[in-house]
Chains A and B, each alone.
Chain A
C-alpha cells in the first residue's frame, strides 16, 4: 500500500504578520513549522505503517525552502521519502494551484490513499484535499476524525465531523482522498535515528514551471488589518497596575463582589 501525505509549512500563530509594500502580500517570515493539521494527517499514515511494514509513505509539499524543512521533519517522524514541487515565488499560492500541482504529480503514480490536513492554519481555505480528489476523479472524505482500512473490501471506513456534534460515517472505496481533522491522534516527535536518515535522504525536487494544468484565475487584490469591532481599551502600566485596573473595571461592572 502506498500513501501520500500533503504537508506545508506555516508561520506560528504568535508570529508578527505585516503587510508588505505591494499591499497584496505579507513581509517575509523566517520561522515556520509544520501545519498542525498535516501533523495529524501524517501521524494517521504512520500508524497504518506501524501495523503493516509494507506500507510506503511519501510526503509532498508545494513551495520553496521552508517546505524542505517540513519535509525533513516528516522524514524524521517516519515518512519514507519526500517530494518538493518547487515554486520560486514565495507569495500566495491559491489552493487550486497547490492541488493542481499535486494532482498532476499523482496522476503518474499509484497511491492508494492521499491524506491532507483539513486546512492550513495560515490560509484557512480547507480546499486542497477536495480539489485534488475532484481533479483525479477520486472519492473524498473531508473533516475525518476516525478512519480504519477495511482490507478485504479495499475500502476505508471514515467518520467525518459535520456540524453540531454530528458524525457522518462513510465507506470510501480506494484509491481516495481524506482530509484529516485535529484531535484524531497524538502526532509523534521525530526520532533521532529517523532524523539521521532524513539528513541522508535526498528530496525529489520538481520544478513547478514544468507542470501545466488549466488555471482558475483568482488573486489577492489587497490585504488589510481587521478593524476593531469593540472598544478594545488597552491597559497600560506594570503587570501589577494592569491587574489592579482590570479588577477595578470588573468590580465596577459587578462581575465580582
Chain B
C-alpha cells in the first residue's frame, strides 16, 4: 500500500507555440478537488522540444512541482510521442491519477495511455464528488440533460477534464514549485505533422456584440433563420450566432459559431433559440450577462443556464414577440 505522501496525481500540461494553454490551470483546479477526497502530491508534467520557459512559468504560477521532459524530436503535440513517453513514466511511478484536457490532443493521448497501461479512462469530466465512500467523476450525457457519476476500479485512473468547467486555479502559496528536467531521445519513426490556421478568420462581429441572438438545431428549417435575424433586428448592437450544427450545414458562417471550437462570447444579453445546451456550446457563452432561452423541449439543458426560460416553439413565439414589440413601439 502506498502512503498518502507517496500517492501522485499527474497533470499533463497543454501548450502551443510556447504558450501554456489556460486549460492547464483548469487541470490544476481539478487536481486540487481530487486531493480534497484523496490526499496525494500533485505534479505537472510538460513535454516539449524546449520546456524551460514554460516549466518555470507553471512552477511559479501554481506553486506545484514540475517534471519537464525535453524531446528534441517533438514537433507540435505529436500524440505518438506523448503516449510512448507517458507510458514509461506511468509504469515507473504508478500515479493514482493522470489528468489531461478533454481536447482532441488530450483525448487521443489519454485513450492511448489507458489501453497501454490498463488504467481506466473517464472522458469529459466536469465535477468530482463522493457517493458513499466511492469517488465519482461527473460528466454530461444525453445532450446535457443528465449527469452521470462514474467510478472506476483502477490502479491508475486517467481522466480528461472538460475545458471551462473547473475554473482557473489560484494558488494559496507564493512559493514556486521545483522543476526537474529530463532529456529523452525518441528514436521510433514519427508520423509527420503540420499545423496551420483555418482559412476563415475568427475576427467576428459576435465577439464585440452587446446582444447575441443565437440559433441551434431546434430552428428546424433553414427559412426560420430569417426569424432569428428579425429578432436580432430589434436590439441595438446585436449580432446573430449559432451552434456548430448550423455551421456544418452551411446555414451560418464559421465565424458565427459559438462554443468551445468556435468563438467564446460574453455579451450583455444572450438569446438562445432552439439550442439544446450541451457543454460544448455552454463553454462558449455561459459568461453572458443575461441569458434568455427559447426552446419547445422543456427538458433542454440550456434552461439550467438561463435567467429566463420560454418553453415555446420559436416558430410561433418569435413572431409573437416581434409583433408585440412593433405594437409597443408604435404606441
Residues of chain A touching chain B, judged by Cβ–Cβ distance below 8 Å, are 11, 13-14, 16-17, 19, 26, 36, 95-96, 121-127, 130-131, 134-135, 139-140, 142-143, 160-173, 182-183, 186, 214, 216-235, 239-240, 242-244, 246-247, 249-250, 253, 255-257
Would A171 and B118 count as touching, CB distance under 8 A?
A: no
- Considering only CB atoms, which chain A residue lies closest to B126 in the complex? A226
CA of A143 to CA of B111, assembled, Å: 14
Would B197 and A166 count as touching, CB distance under 8 A?
A: yes
Q: Mark B303-331, 1 if CB is under 8 A from A, else 0.
A: 11111111110001100110111001000
Question: Nearest Cβ distance between residue B40 and chain A, in whole angstroms?
Answer: 20
B-chain residues with CB within 8 Å of residue A143 when the two chains form the complex: 104
A-chain residues with CB within 8 Å of residue B74 when the two chains form the complex: none
- Considering only CB atoms, which chain B residue lies closest to A238 in the complex? B320
B124 at the binding interface (Cβ < 8 Å): yes
CB-contact partner of B235 in A140, A233, A255, under 8 A:
A255
Would B120 and A234 count as touching, CB distance under 8 A?
A: no
B140 at the binding interface (Cβ < 8 Å): yes
Chain A: interface secondary structure? mixed
Q: A162-B195, A239-B320 are in contact. Are A14 and B121 (CB under 8 A)?
A: no
Would B195 and A172 count as touching, CB distance under 8 A?
A: no
Would B142 and A26 count as touching, CB distance under 8 A?
A: yes
CA of A131 to CA of B113, assembled, Å: 10
Question: Nearest Cβ distance between residue A126 and chain B, in whole angstroms?
Answer: 5
Would A230 and B147 count as touching, CB distance under 8 A?
A: no
Which 9 pairs, one residue from A and one from B, show the smallest C-beta to C-beta distance?
A183-B248, A130-B111, A134-B115, A217-B153, A218-B152, A243-B320, A143-B104, A243-B321, A216-B120
Would A163 and B193 count as touching, CB distance under 8 A?
A: no
Chain B: interface secondary structure? mixed
Of B41-49, B88-96, B291-299, the stretch lying at the interface with chain A is B291-299
Question: Nearest Cβ distance between residue A235 and chain B, in whole angstroms?
Answer: 5
B-chain residues with CB within 8 Å of residue A170 when the two chains form the complex: 191-194
A-chain residues with CB within 8 Å of residue B122 when the two chains form the complex: 218
CB-contact partner of B111 in A13, A134, A243, under 8 A:
A134
Would B196 and A166 count as touching, CB distance under 8 A?
A: yes
Question: Nearest Cβ distance between residue A34 and chain B, in whole angstroms?
Answer: 15
Question: Nearest Cβ distance between residue B321 and chain A, in whole angstroms?
Answer: 4
B-chain residues with CB within 8 Å of residue A172 when the two chains form the complex: 191
- Considering only CB atoms, which chain A residue lies closest to B248 in the complex? A183
B-chain residues with CB within 8 Å of residue A169 when the two chains form the complex: 193-196
CA of A212 to CA of B296, assembled, Å: 44
* Contacts beyond the supplied A218-B153, A242-B310, A249-B308: 15 A-B pairs with Cβ under 8 Å: A11-B142, A142-B108, A171-B192, A217-B120, A219-B151, A223-B146, A233-B308, A235-B310, A239-B316, A240-B324, A242-B320, A243-B321, A247-B321, A255-B269, A256-B234
Would A26 and B305 count as touching, CB distance under 8 A?
A: no
Would B150 and A122 count as touching, CB distance under 8 A?
A: no
B-chain residues with CB within 8 Å of residue A231 when the two chains form the complex: 307
Would B194 and A168 count as touching, CB distance under 8 A?
A: yes
CA of A227 to CA of B122, assembled, Å: 22
Question: Nearest Cβ distance between residue B276 and chain A, in whole angstroms?
Answer: 5
CB-contact partner of A127 in B121, B244, B261, under 8 A:
B121
Q: How big is the B interface, by class?
A: 35 or more
5 contacts between A and B (CB under 8 A): A13-B217, A96-B121, A121-B143, A124-B124, A161-B261
Question: Nearest Cβ distance between residue B112 and chain A, in whole angstroms?
Answer: 5
CB-contact partner of A221 in B116, B134, B146, B324, under 8 A:
B134
CB-contact partner of B312 in A13, A131, A239, under 8 A:
A239
Would B317 and A239 count as touching, CB distance under 8 A?
A: yes
B-chain residues with CB within 8 Å of residue A250 when the two chains form the complex: 269, 292
CB-contact partner of A233 in B123, B202, B309, under 8 A:
B309
Would B325 and A256 count as touching, CB distance under 8 A?
A: yes
Of the candidates B116, B148, B300, the one having the most CB atoms from chain A within 10 angstroms of its own CB is B148
B-chain residues with CB within 8 Å of residue A232 when the two chains form the complex: 303-304, 306-309
A-chain residues with CB within 8 Å of residue B7 when the two chains form the complex: none
Question: Nearest Cβ distance between residue B137 and chain A, in whole angstroms?
Answer: 10
- Considering only CB atoms, which chain A residue lies closest to B316 in the complex? A239
B175 at the binding interface (Cβ < 8 Å): no
CA of A249 to CA of B114, assembled, Å: 51
Question: Nearest Cβ distance between residue B161 and chain A, in whole angstroms?
Answer: 13
Q: Mark B138-170, 1 if CB is under 8 A from A, else 0.
A: 011111111111111110000000000000000
A-chain residues with CB within 8 Å of residue B266 when the two chains form the complex: none
A-chain residues with CB within 8 Å of residue B76 when the two chains form the complex: 168
Would A216 and B131 count as touching, CB distance under 8 A?
A: no
Would A221 and B124 count as touching, CB distance under 8 A?
A: no
A-chain residues with CB within 8 Å of residue B202 when the two chains form the complex: 165
A-chain residues with CB within 8 Å of residue B120 when the two chains form the complex: 96, 216-218
B-chain residues with CB within 8 Å of residue A240 when the two chains form the complex: 320, 324
Q: A226-B304, A247-B321 are in contact. Are A160 and B114 (CB under 8 A)?
A: no
CA of A122 to CA of B120, assembled, Å: 20
Would A131 and B305 count as touching, CB distance under 8 A?
A: no
B-chain residues with CB within 8 Å of residue A224 when the two chains form the complex: 146-147, 149
Question: Nearest Cβ distance between residue B248 and chain A, in whole angstroms?
Answer: 3
- Considering only CB atoms, which chain A residue lies closest to B121 in the complex? A127
B278 at the binding interface (Cβ < 8 Å): yes
Question: Nearest Cβ distance between residue A37 and chain B, in whole angstroms?
Answer: 10
Q: Mark B267-294, 1 if CB is under 8 A from A, else 0.
A: 0110000001010000000100011100
